[in-house]
Amino acid sequence: MRISRLRFPVLLAAVSASLTLHAEQTDLRVSPPGWWAGMASPKLQLMVHGPDIAGSTVSVNDSEFVIEQVNSLDSPNYLFIDIDIADISPGDYELTFTKQGKEIYKTIYTFRPRAANSAERQGFTQKDTIYLVTPDRFANGDESNDSVAGFVDKADRQAPGGRHGGDIQGMINHLDYIASTGFTQIWSMPLLENAMDDHSYHGYAITDYYRIDPRYGSNALYRQFSQQADEKGVGVIMDMVLNHIGSNHPWMKDKPAKDWIHHNGEFSATTHRRESLHDPHGVEADQKAFSDGWFVPSMPDLNQQNPYLTNYLIQNAIWWVEYANLSGIRVDTYSYSDKAFLSQWTARLTSEYPNLNIVGEEWTTNPVITAYWQEDSYRADGYDSSLPSVMDFPLQDTLVNALKDEETWGTGLVSLYNLLAGDFIYGDPYNLVIFGDNHDMSRIYTQLDESYALWDMAMTFLLTARGIPQIYYGTEILMANPDTDDHGVIRSDFPGGWKNDSIDAFAQQGLSPKQTKAYNRIKSLLSLRKEHPVVTQGKFTHFAPAEGIYVYFRTDEAGKGAMIILNKNEAENDVQLARFEPVLKEFSTASRWGNSNKISVKNASIEVAPKSASVWLLQ
């Protein structure tokens, strides 16, 4: 029987009372922990975990809840229920589990109504700028959850690899800062439970796919964070991990199937040879050594070739998008998962949410391999990918080298030009996520030898070039990691996020003049992106660099345009505009962003400062 939501609390109390003879009932767990009526897929598979539940029969007293089949695998404690939900209505359904003629469990399963226009949600686009946050290091909004009973890894702010206390409430408290600076999307490193003994703060060793780590908050608080961010015009991107789990995940003690974890649950390192997946001369053994291997002993590698695990991971992603109203997903270590699974996973997500954006992490500086994963790119093997976006690591690496290397015929800014000239290999280069750094590499200010001029050139390029820019928290105030590449130092605390911090970057108090200058520059560029959409959505056109100067344009069919000039020279330069006549012929004047300098573009020149980046709006 379907139970109305109004009656549910009373009935649940009655059901709980009737099950007092079944002490193991408290151990029963159903994943996903609820679903929605009206989803695109008419199928749902429940994973039910409970002592000795395998082999049970399942009944439900409502014809709308159609059980197609019930399966057990190798563990005696798991049951999988396939349901046809094509005609399901919102409400609460009572499931009864019977074994050897004896009722052993009862539980309530809830289908909720979907939010209006949920399927049509708009994911992040070129218009957006993503702010990447390490939540443990951003702001401590709730000191009561810094250490939690039952979790070994306690708060230790002095340890680079320890938990420092940042949390979801801290991000909520500073949404105004994020929005007012001009960021329109937040991507936080994983927030799901990481019940690991140490280094749990980074979030990539998940021990519960359906639970926010209590040291960060709760599921409800995460949803509140998303709602409040949305009210300020900021979307939320969730960092998802499909390739591996944490070694303390319950699956390691009780695998649903023998093949749930690669190499029978024993550590065997990956080769990291991603090239093997694309090698026309290669062998399957090398491919499996890459995709089936583990990162480290504490991160067991999942076998997504198991169809039940495939369904589990697909449904988990959909559940979080729907539950938390996400605007996008970032997928960690994308290519390490099974290729066929990735095709299924992305196809299911994009069928449920056609406009959702998903970006995969493929850490390679080879653009051919990066392009392979993006939908609509050419692939010699015919692989079907529905992945909309990929992290543009080739551009990140090239940008740093282009700014630091000597200007010669083949080095310097020309390397950036050469890379972008190869954009034809991508299905959509404008939908790549571009960045100067992230949580796994030295900060961009450090990579550029703490040169403010080079930092400014990098930021100007990233916020005006093709693609969707991502800025790592603290970049706007020149956070650095001098003399070390320790990840715990790279992911240092944001000043002002903890009580009694001597510097409060959120309030712009205590910053050095250079830090204040950097913050104002980022804020100005983000304002430029919002006020002049041509900078974010216009066609990208560039001219080959000459004599240490690189000029490119963003233009649209409405007659709007922007010209960006990067000058790496140590001296001021007089840039003759006649060379750029193929683009400039459509315009008459250029106004420099940030001041009132306005010039005619006809037979004119522009004086540009040494080691500088300038943006000129065209009319």
Give the pLDDT confidence of 72-93 residue by residue, as tens digits. 999 999 999 999 999 999 999 9
Residue of 361, 362, 392, 456 marked catalytic: 361
Give the pLDDT confidence of 484-528 residue by residue, as tens digits. 999 999 999 999 999 999 999 999 999 999 999 999 999 999 999
Buried-exposed string 298-320: b where 16+ CB fall within 10 A, e elsewhere: bbbbbbbebebbbbbbbbbbbbb
Known catalytic residue at 361: yes
Provide the mean pLDDT of the chain. 95
Amino acid in the structure at residue 229: A
Q: Please provide residue 435's backbone torsions phi and psi, each rounded to the nearest 5 degrees.
A: -165, 160
- Looking at per-residue pLDDT, the higher value among 23 and 333 belongs to 333
Separation of alpha carbons 157 and 149, rounded Å? 18
Predicted TM-score (pTM) of this structure: 0.95
Instruction: Give CA separation, 547 vs 61, 143, 406, 470, 573, in Å.
Output: 78, 55, 11, 29, 10
| 165, 113 contact by CB (below 8 A) | no
Separation of alpha carbons 358 and 507, rounded Å? 33
In order of start, what are the domains of the chain with their CATH numbers? 2-113 (2.60.40.10), 130-245+313-531 (3.20.20.80), 535-618 (2.60.40.1180)
Region for residue 237 given its phi and psi (left: phi exceeds 0; alpha: psi -120 to 50; beta: otherwise) = beta
Bridge partners of residue 120, in order along the sequence: none
pLDDT at 57 over 50: yes
What are the structure tokens assigned to 164, written together? 């420092």
Q: Is the peptide bond before 32 cis (omega within 30 degrees of 0)?
A: yes
Give the pLDDT confidence of 383-424 residue by residue, as tens digits. 999 999 999 999 999 999 999 999 999 999 999 999 999 999
- Give mean pLDDT, residues 367-373: 98
CB atoms under 10 Å from CB of 573, counted, come to 19
In sign, the C-alpha dihedral spanning 141, 143, 144, 148 is positive
Residue 280 CB burial class (10 angstroms; 0-12, 13-18, ≥19): exposed
Separation of alpha carbons 575 and 615, rounded Å? 14
Residue of 128, 301, 322, 332 marked catalytic: 332
Q: Please provide residue 471's backbone torsions phi and psi, each rounded to the nearest 5 degrees.
A: -115, 130
Those residues whose C-beta lies under 8 Å from the C-beta of residue 121, and which sit 6 or more positions away, are 321, 325, 327, 353, 355, 356
pLDDT at 24 over 50: no
Q: Which of 22-26, 161-165, 185-189, 574-578 has the lowest mean pLDDT?
A: 22-26
Give the pLDDT confidence of 181-198 residue by residue, as tens digits. 999 999 999 999 999 999
Give the pLDDT confidence of 246-279 residue by residue, as tens digits. 999 999 999 999 999 999 999 999 999 999 999 9
**Tell me, what's the pLDDT at 20?**
27
- Going by C-alpha positions, the residue among 161, 160, 200 that lies closest to residue 299 is 200
- Give mean pLDDT, residues 340-346: 98
At residue 10 the predicted structure's pLDDT band, cuts being 50, 70 and 90, is very low
First to last CA, the chain: 67
Task: Report the C-alpha dihedral over residues 240, 246, 251, 253, rounded to 10 degrees.
Answer: 180
Bridge partners of residue 2, in order along the sequence: 93
- Going by C-alpha positions, the residue among 468, 466, 469, 460 that lies closest to residue 614 is 460
In sign, the C-alpha dihedral spanning 582, 583, 586, 587 is negative
Residue 418 CB burial class (10 angstroms; 0-12, 13-18, ≥19): middle
- Give mean pLDDT, residues 519-548: 98
**Tell me, what's the pLDDT at 26?**
57
- Looking at per-residue pLDDT, the higher value among 15 and 121 belongs to 121
- Give mean pLDDT, residues 283-297: 97
At residue 6 the predicted structure's pLDDT band, cuts being 50, 70 and 90, is very low
Q: What is the maximal distance between C-alpha atoms in the chain?
A: 92
Give the pLDDT confidence of 58-74 residue by residue, as tens digits. 999 899 999 999 999 99
- Give mean pLDDT, residues 565-590: 96
- Give mean pLDDT, residues 351-356: 98
Buried-exposed string 466-498: b where 16+ CB fall within 10 A, e elsewhere: bbbbbbbbbbbbbbbbeeeeebbbbbbbbbbbb
Known catalytic residue at 167: no
Q: What is the SS3 assignment for 386-453?
A: CECEEECHHHHHHHHHHHHCCCCCCCCHHHHHHHHHCHHHCCCHHHCEEECCCCCCCCHHHHCCCCHH
Q: What is the SS3 assignment for 90-110?
A: CEEEEEEEEECCEEEEEEEEE
Instruction: Give CA separation, 63 vs 58, 112, 314, 547, in Å.
Output: 13, 17, 26, 75
